[in-house]
Structure 1
Amino acid sequence: MSTLQVTAERLVVVPHPNADRLELAQVGLYRAVVAKGQFATGDHAVYIPEQSVLPEELIAELGLTGKLAGSLRNRVKAVRLRGEVSQGIVCTPTALGGVDLAGAAVAGTDFAESLGIVKWVPPVPVSMSGQVESAPDLLRWVDVENIKRFPDIFTAGEPVVATEKIHGTACLLTHVRAGDRILVSSKGVGGRSLSLSLTEADGNLYWRAVRAHGLDEAARKLAAALDADRIGLFGEVYGAGVQDLHYGASAAHDSSLGFGLFDIAVDAGAAPVRWLGHHEISALLDDLGLALPRVPVLYEGGYDAELLLELAEGAETVSGAGTNIREGLVVRPATERPSPILGGRAIGKIVSAAYLLRDGGTEYE
């Protein structure tokens, strides 16, 4: 899930192809439907992204009472308006009257707190929770930002690898060589300010996935081969009973529980934690004879934003039978590198319109 930032942005306004009284205000590659004449290209306004929860006063001010998502009708969600997908809200809240929005855009000011906007956190089912314990040695996963919000993460033609984004729940496993410890967590639990791991339990979804796919033994072999103090394995656990998209798998039994590895982190002591590139992971697993299931690769080649936006749509390839819609893509450089734009890894996602607009979807972490 992306981080929540409510920022001022310079708009590009284009006509709505199917409505005379509406236009599309573009922020990055996102487009939000606005009233015609409300904004012009070059204007600065506040962009409130999807998964934002708004206070009642702001909802009323924007004329959105009863029109947002969630049981309290207070959550921003992608919608289709007159045939166009509208992602997020573009507005100029009265609470920011007098604020230099152009200057705030340059400074990257986050208005979430001042506007009372918080990030939506979905409830966690019992099977995905459990007893927790402090785990400062846990290697944590990162928030993956949307390429539509940050379209300059990659440069045109840069060699990239795009893997299918699976709608499951992220499993974080860290093997600590000192004491031969295995720490298991989820993105939701392990992403808290104090790293936590889930106490080993027979019924816990993440521990079940670790055992079913031999992730603990794989991590031990990887640590020995790389002479690493810590190895982190990151993958998606999926199937019926996990999220609304199941890919033909099921969490009912360990033998049918789906798992797809998407990342490996290496802590070799003195050097910073290193993320392995896609081809480096492939070569390493092959050398060690480790047959871990991995997320499908949908594209390798030069970065082409329009091509990848199209590729994010369609049917999934995880099951081999197109059982569900495709959630989207995760894009990485062919060779791992940092991103000055993100201040961390160069990695981004593209989420399909079909996924965003589906009814009855679940979003557990």
Structure 2
Amino acid sequence: MRKLATVREISEVKPIKNADRIEVCVVDGWEVVCKVNEFKPGDKVVYIEIDSIVPDCKTFEFLRDRKFRVKTIKLRGQISQGLIIPMDILPPRTYKVGEDVTDILNIKKYDPQEEKERKLIKQNPPKGKVQKWLMRFGWFERYYQNKQEKILQARRFPDWIKKTDEERIQNMKPEFDRFVQEGVEFVATEKIDGCSATYGLKKVNNKFEFVVCSRNVRLNEPDDNCYWNVAKKYDIRAVLESLYYTFGGNYDGGNIVIQGEIVGPGIQGNKYERDTCEFYAFNLIIDGCRTSYFFMSNRLVSKNIPCVPYIDYITLPDSIQKLVEMSKGRSKLANISREGIVCRSDDISFKVINPDFLLKEDTE
């Protein structure tokens, strides 16, 4: 589960040009605008990430107009991402730097895709007069709830596939410093603002099991939604079977997975202005091992499955702020700011979100 609110330490305080009442506080790789002299380097604080929904209470009253959502903003030309709150917001006790306090503060994640997923798996209430009448009896209520639980169980994300959720580089300051020191090279690809989809094939008792998933949920039955429509459009099951026999071997328990982003009508405002749903792969995983971008693109593009656009082969600059600047630019899919970049090297990967995209495109 993502840590939306954590105990952090102020590493630096910087002035803002032509601003007397506000300054920039730095926590790990994040820069947050605060009141002058509110914090100093070394202070222990609570940091709340962007895309958090804070509770409706006096402390966060200033966010009411934003529906209590923490967003990327710009003040006096300075990007500010997240909130820094004094430690006295927490119940009195000793807290360690890095400790997760999300549940303590009752903070939730802003996630439009998760809301759509809930609609896909919502429980069905009893239908008809007979079912409603039978719900008066405990034995039938238990039977009905058990049946609904089995439905939800079948929709749970497969345990043999890792969900897609890249960490933001701002939360990886120690790792970032090590990557810079060691000169680690990364493949940078465009991060696409769509909905995450996973397609997997596993051999069970000498038969193939094909799964279609959103980011968090397995969608069992073929349906008229973007995930199944993409599976049909690109004939993904046939592609997976072909790749399985070529690279995955032929043994029970073997599996192969394609993960990517879907863009198109009804998805994130259709920023890329597509007439139909399109799919762009970012992961090809064979028996639990993620292949390189170039291995993936060489195999999938030949089978008419597009991959996320390649940007460059890079080493990291000497600061996270400079890397954030590198994330800026135009999308290769449309005339808009790109959402950011994803950097990958062997088993290491992280995302760098373009703040210009968040300011211009994220208008909800």
TM-score normalised by the chain length of structure 2: 0.79
Give the corresponding residue for 1:298. 311
Percent of residue pairs bearing the same amino acid type: 25
2:344 equivalent to 1:332: yes
Structure having the higher helix fraction is: 2
2:51 equivalent to 1:51: yes
Q: CA deviation at 1:198?
A: 3.8
In structure 2, distance between residues paired with 1:41 and 1:52? 25
The aligned length equals 319
Q: CA deviation at 1:99?
A: 4.0
In structure 2, distance between residues paired with 1:213 and 1:354? 33
- Asked whether the equivalents of residues 309 and 350 of structure 1 are also in contact (C-alpha less than 8 Å), the reply is yes
Q: CA deviation at 1:283?
A: 4.5
Rg larger in structure: 2
In structure 2, distance between residues paired with 1:283 and 1:84? 41
- Asked whether the equivalents of residues 4 and 52 of structure 1 are also in contact (C-alpha less than 8 Å), the reply is no
Q: Secondary structure at the match of 2:344?
A: strand
- Asked whether the equivalents of residues 168 and 237 of structure 1 are also in contact (C-alpha less than 8 Å), the reply is yes
Letter in 1 for 2:70: V
2:341 equivalent to 1:316: no
Change (3 A) 1:125 1:42: closer
Letter in 2 for 1:114: I
Within 5 Å, give how 1:92-111 maps onto structure 2: 92-96=86-90, 98-101=92-95, 104-105=96-97, 108-111=98-101
Unaligned runs of 5+ in 2: 123-151
Give the corresponding residue for 1:270. none
- Asked whether the equivalents of residues 130 and 198 of structure 1 are also in contact (C-alpha less than 8 Å), the reply is no
In structure 2, distance between residues paired with 1:128 and 1:223? 33
Q: Secondary structure at the match of 1:188?
A: coil
Give the corresponding residue for 2:260. 235
Letter in 1 for 2:266: G
Letter in 2 for 1:206: Y
Could you give the per-residue CA deviations for residues 121-151 of structure 1, whole angstroms, max 9, x where no partner exists? 3264489836873464652323211112213
Give the corresponding residue for 2:296. 281
Unaligned runs of 5+ in 1: 190-195, 252-256, 268-272, 338-345
Give the corresponding residue for 1:182. 210
Give the corresponding residue for 1:352. 354
Change (3 A) 1:145 1:55: same
In structure 2, distance between residues paired with 1:88 and 1:139? 31
Q: Which moved more, 1:14-23 or 1:230-239?
A: 14-23
Change (3 A) 1:329 1:128: farther
Within 5 Å, give how 1:1-365 maps onto structure 2: 3-11=2-10, 12-57=12-57, 60-61=58-59, 64-68=60-64, 70=66, 73-96=67-90, 98-101=92-95, 104-105=96-97, 108-122=98-112, 124-125=115-116, 129=120, 133-134=154-155, 136=158, 139-154=161-176, 155-156=179-180, 157-178=183-204, 179-189=207-217, 196-201=218-223, 203-228=224-249, 229-251=254-276, 257-267=277-287, 273-285=288-300, 289-304=302-317, 305=320, 308-319=323-334, 322=335, 324-333=336-345, 336-337=346-347, 346-358=348-360, 361=363
Q: CA deviation at 1:153?
A: 3.4
TM-score normalised by the chain length of structure 1: 0.79
